């Protein structure tokens, strides 16, 4: 297997110059860099990650801590992160911490011990307790996607506006008897979760318009769990005329239950969700759209900008705690209409 010495000799440069050329470090002319890379390719030489880090201070890796990889929101954020990271010639190091942080602390410690990365993204407050405050010890760009947080740079949907838009849409259609089916908080039971913000927004709209205040119903954030709950609810004689679901998965479970019970949508029941998952259009679901993949791309763009400004990190600097909030978009389809007379 060819070594760096072989590449340097064949390209007619010093070993140090060959190392800088292959790692992308400064101080090498474009012509020399191209000659060294072409020579390395001809010889079948590949620079090690450790060598690149020594030369540039970068691992070309972004770490991601997530509570799940098999749900639409988390998968969409990861898709955006991976796509943007690849465009910047970075890899993604993924740690699945598990819902509610189960086993997460041990995995986080493993990450802190091994995870040499250029930047870190944690999705929807994947960490709990003291682990959050320890992120600043890394001395690298750190951001959270999915929740506003005082601990780091953050990117997320404006859940207050999303909850208000969903409830106001049904009120404008003439509904006075609404129920909010709140999606169960899946990451950690914090007061600042997206589910809580959407619930509080619904309550504000209800109070503002003097609507009947039904108790908030909390359901699992799965189609199956919402479907089972909705079947029990919809067979009652005093069922609401409109349901504001915390997520599209919950809303789709309600639509399925209504179909099975012979309840016509939207003539007898209106349903609105939040997210605009890929299947929402096929079911005619009115919803509040967000784009988690774009959020993932934006967080990588921020990391790359931070790295360009301080490629070797700023371990003693005050972390960036600013927040980017995305405006929700109402998408009207056939699942909402005027209430029954």
pLDDT band at 258 (very low <50, low <70, confident <90, very high): very high
Which of 19, 17, 36, 37 is CA-nearest to residue 28?
17
Output the pLDDT for position 151. 77
- In angstroms, the CA 337 to CA 173 distance is 6
Q: Per-residue pLDDT tens for 162-181?
A: 999 999 999 999 999 999 99
Can you spell out the DSSP letters for 62-119? EEEEES-SSSHHHHHHHHHHHHHHHHTT-EEEEEE--GGGTTHHHHHHHHHHH---SE
Angle at 324 between CA 95 and CA 221, to 5 degrees: 55
pLDDT band at 139 (very low <50, low <70, confident <90, very high): confident
Lowest mean pLDDT among 90-99, 121-130, 260-269: 121-130
Q: Report the range out of 44-48, 105-109, 318-322, 323-327 with the highest average pLDDT.
A: 323-327
Q: Answer yes or no: is pLDDT of 126 > 60.
A: no
- Cα 151 to chain centroid distance, Å, stands at 16
Question: Is there a contact between 239 and 233 (Cβ–Cβ < 8 Å)?
Answer: yes
Domains, the chain, with CATH or none:
4-56 (1.10.260.40), 61-156+292-325 (3.40.50.2300), 159-290 (3.40.50.2300)
Output the pLDDT for position 314. 59
The DSSP call for residue 156 is: E
H-helix or E-strand containing 15? helix 15-23
- In angstroms, the CA 310 to CA 314 distance is 7
22, two tokens: 């292959």
Lowest mean pLDDT among 21-30, 191-200, 247-256: 21-30
Q: Answer yes or no: is pLDDT of 135 > 90.
A: no
């Amino acid at each position: 297997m060819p070594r760096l010495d072989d590449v340097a000799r064949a390209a007619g440069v010093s070993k140090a110059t060959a190392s800088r050329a292959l790692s992308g470090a400064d101080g090498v002319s474009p012509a020399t860099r191209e000659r060294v890379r072409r020579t390395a390719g001809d010889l079948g030489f590949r620079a090690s990650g450790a060598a690149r880090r020594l030369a540039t201070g970068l691992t070309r890796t972004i770490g991601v801590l997530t509570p799940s990889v098999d749900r639409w929101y988390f998968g969409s954020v990861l898709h955006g992160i991976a796509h943007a990271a690849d465009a910047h010639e970075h890899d993604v190091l993924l740690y699945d911490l598990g819902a509610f942080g189960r086993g997460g602390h041990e995995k986080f410690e493993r990450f802190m011990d091994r995870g040499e990365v250029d930047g870190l993204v944690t999705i929807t407050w994947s960490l709990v307790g003291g682990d959050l405050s320890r992120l600043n010890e890394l001395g690298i760009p750190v951001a959270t996607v999915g929740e506003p947080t005082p601990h780091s740079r953050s990117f997320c949907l404006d859940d207050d506006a999303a909850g208000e838009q969903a409830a106001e849409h049904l009120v404008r259609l003439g509904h006075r008897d609404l129920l909010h089916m709140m999606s169960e908080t899946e990451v950690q039971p914090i007061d600042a979760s997206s589910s809580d913000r959407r619930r509080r927004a619904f309550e504000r709209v209800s109070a503002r318009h003097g609507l009947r205040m039904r108790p908030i119903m909390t359901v699992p954030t799965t189609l199956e769990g919402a479907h089972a709950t909705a079947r029990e609810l919809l067979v009652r004689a005093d069922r609401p005329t409109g349901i504001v679901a915390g997520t599209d998965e919950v809303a789709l479970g309600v639509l399925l239950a209504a179909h099975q019970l012979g309840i016509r949508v939207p003539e007898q029941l209106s349903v609105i969700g939040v997210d605009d998952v890929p299947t929402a259009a096929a079911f005619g679901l009115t919803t509040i759209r967000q784009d988690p993949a774009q959020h993932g791309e934006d967080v990588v763009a921020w990391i790359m900008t931070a790295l360009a400004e301080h490629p070797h990190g700023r371990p003693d600097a005050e972390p960036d705690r600013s927040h980017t909030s995305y405006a929700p978009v109402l998408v009207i389809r056939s699942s909402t209409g005027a209430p029954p007379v």
